[in-house]
Structure 1
Amino acid sequence: MRLIFWWSIVFILFPTYGLRAQTLHGTVLHDSLATPVPFASVGVRHKPFGTVTDAQGRFSFPDSPGLTAQDTVVVSCVGYYPVRLSVPALRRQSPALVRLRPRAQALREVTVRSQRLRPETLGHTGKTGLARWGISSMTPDSTRRDMRGREFGTFLRPARSCYVDSFNVYIDSNPFRAVRFRLMLYTVLDGKPATALLPDDVQFVVRDQRTGWISVDLRSYNVQLDKKQPIALALQWLDNDTPFSERWFFGIPAVFPAPLHRVFGRDKSQANWKTYPMQPSMYLTVQSWQE
């Protein structure tokens, strides 16, 4: 039990970086409109550095000796083409002005659902587990800096072709008045998340220290999954307010060990993915085609 407890703590906690005199900062704007792009991801390729822009499109994260002249900073957001900057360029330009060019969005097809559909769940509907995805026992300022941009998710594979109705996640502890998440769906390549499947930026806010099951209606996005198609379902932490007390915990439970199931995570939007033998309390409700 002690081993499992400490393994959970290692998974929950993540690298924190001391305050430094120098920060890398700037503003992300829509290319032609010159309006802020809120909650865009800012990350260093293959390294756990970065952040997410605030509601005004501003970003700031500590410079570090771990960043070299060969490193690339990627600024990205759903619906826009990513922009890449070298670390030396960002250091010279800070505060940098980054302009994102919007992608042309194809019109979503209107699908008439057949009568031969049956509701099913895809994922884990349990509410308990020995491990947690979350944060605990940290000062509000450092936690806000470190959590922005962090992703966590689970691998799923539908037994039949289906339409996605909703996303559901269980939260067993929450000290925040508001936490903002981005919902992500990826294809899977070599056992890791690959290409984003959702053409829209799906965000939701959990308010007023709410716990229990949280559901997000996805029917309007017309998401269709193919039979036996492996997908990666993820949450990205975008923003949070100051917690109510100095000692607190936010957590999503996960079954551990789960040798037949894997979860994945990364500290920032461009960091390398890591996988663990766990199964979190996250699932999709779907309408499956009855063959």
Structure 2
Amino acid sequence: MPPRYCLLLLFSLVSLSLRAQNIILEGRILNTHTNEPVPFATLGVPGRGLGTVADEQGRYLLRLPDLRDTLVVTCVGFSRQVVLPTALAAGQREFRLAPQEQALGAVVVEHRRVHPGQLGRSKEKADVLWTGGSSGKETVDDEWGWELGTVLRPTHRTYLEEFHVFLAANTYEHLRFRLNLYALEQGRPGRALLSRDVQLVCSNRQRGWLTLDLRPYEIMLESQPVVATLQWLQSEKTNPWEKYFSIPVTRQPKHVMVERENSEAAWTTHALQPSLYFTVMTE
């Protein structure tokens, strides 16, 4: 089931899909080279709102209505694996991912003249709260993998210093997100740009601005449009009621906000912009 939405003004962002899921797949995702777990790998059915995220030990629990769909397993820094319905029907539950070579090299900025700047929306107030959660449910694993983000247009070569996102509400004791960057292709996220897993963790119902130091990752953007997204990887709360978090989004004249329900669902765009931004150094 996709995340829920809280309407503050005149419209909702997306309708909920109520889908019976009565087949449970359980297994692990492992590194083909080391035989070690691949933490927080994503699993999804292409073009459908079905998927989940593995835990720290590569273990996953995936609910499917049947075994007639192809399953795709992915993780940052690894090649994707396509699992055919015949393999699932035959009982395959362990999936192995091969590491990729890093696409981004080290970035050295000291020898260039740069100046500080921002990319994205740095305001707390907005028109609508996008609210993700699952109040009343014992688990939320079928909603993990959701992504929300925005189109960014750096005008010069830019080095990412920090990432910031605003949580207007948060009832979880533990939340984990992944930062993803994509090339903008035909108005939607295309090729993934990061080869290292960049995660943001917050605890104790933390709200307000969350900040992640990106300098250790040495991420550089060229003067080309990109899409930055926040992907929901994990959440923990003892009480099954009132489980949600929200991010402010404001209306825009152009479709700059992107969203999808899991790692293989179709992207949708909205004439909105979420409260997330980067502090940067620009040449």
Same structural fold, with TM-score higher than 0.5 when normalized by the shorter chain: yes
**Letter paired with 1:80:** F
Q: Which residue of 1 aligns with 2:159?
A: 163
1:212-223 correspondence runs (5 A): 212-223=208-219
1:50-61 correspondence runs (5 A): 50-61=51-62
Cα 1:78–1:137 shift into 2, 3 Å: closer
The answer on 1:131 being equivalent to 2:128 is: yes
Cα 1:115–1:98 shift into 2, 3 Å: closer
Q: Which residue of 2 aligns with 1:24?
A: 25
Matches of 1:207 and 1:3 in 2, distance apart?
26
Q: Is the 8 A contact 1:24 1:91 kept in 2?
A: no
Structure 2: gaps spanning 5 or more residues: 1-5
Q: Give the alignment partner of residue 276 of structure 1, picking from 258, 261, 270.
A: 270
Q: Which residue of 1 aligns with 2:3?
A: none
SS in 1 for 2:264: coil
1:44-83 correspondence runs (5 A): 44-64=45-65, 68=68, 71-83=69-81
Matches of 1:7 and 1:107 in 2, distance apart?
40
Matches of 2:188 and 2:180 in 1, distance apart?
14
1:107-256 correspondence runs (5 A): 108-114=105-111, 116-136=113-133, 138-142=135-139, 144-227=140-223, 229-242=224-237, 244=239, 246-256=241-251
Stretch of structure 1 that moved more, 193-202 or 83-92: 83-92
1:30, distance to aligned residue in structure 2 (A) = 1.1
Matches of 2:104 and 2:210 in 1, distance apart?
29
Q: Is the 8 A contact 2:104 2:195 kept in 1?
A: no
Matches of 2:104 and 2:230 in 1, distance apart?
25
Q: Which residue of 2 aligns with 1:7?
A: 11
Cα 1:3–1:148 shift into 2, 3 Å: closer
1:139, distance to aligned residue in structure 2 (A) = 2.0
Over the aligned positions, Cα root-mean-square deviation in angstroms equals 2.2
Q: Is the 8 A contact 1:131 1:255 kept in 2?
A: yes
SS in 1 for 2:142: helix
1:25-65 deviation digits (Å, cap 9, x = unpaired): 32111113222111101011111111111122111222215
1:128-164 deviation digits (Å, cap 9, x = unpaired): 112222225622424x123211111000101222111
Cα 1:197–1:3 shift into 2, 3 Å: closer
Q: Is the 8 A contact 2:171 2:242 kept in 1?
A: no
Q: Is the 8 A contact 1:263 1:279 kept in 2?
A: yes
Matches of 1:3 and 1:239 in 2, distance apart?
24
SS in 2 for 1:89: helix
1:181, distance to aligned residue in structure 2 (A) = 0.5
Aligned length: 278
Q: Is the 8 A contact 1:140 1:243 kept in 2?
A: no
Please identify which structure carries the higher helix content. Answer: 1
1:248, distance to aligned residue in structure 2 (A) = 4.5
Matches of 2:126 and 2:85 in 1, distance apart?
41
1:208-239 deviation digits (Å, cap 9, x = unpaired): 10111111111122211122x10000011001
Matches of 1:104 and 1:244 in 2, distance apart?
42
TM-score (norm 1): 0.88
Matches of 1:3 and 1:32 in 2, distance apart?
47
Matches of 1:180 and 1:241 in 2, distance apart?
9
SS in 1 for 2:141: helix
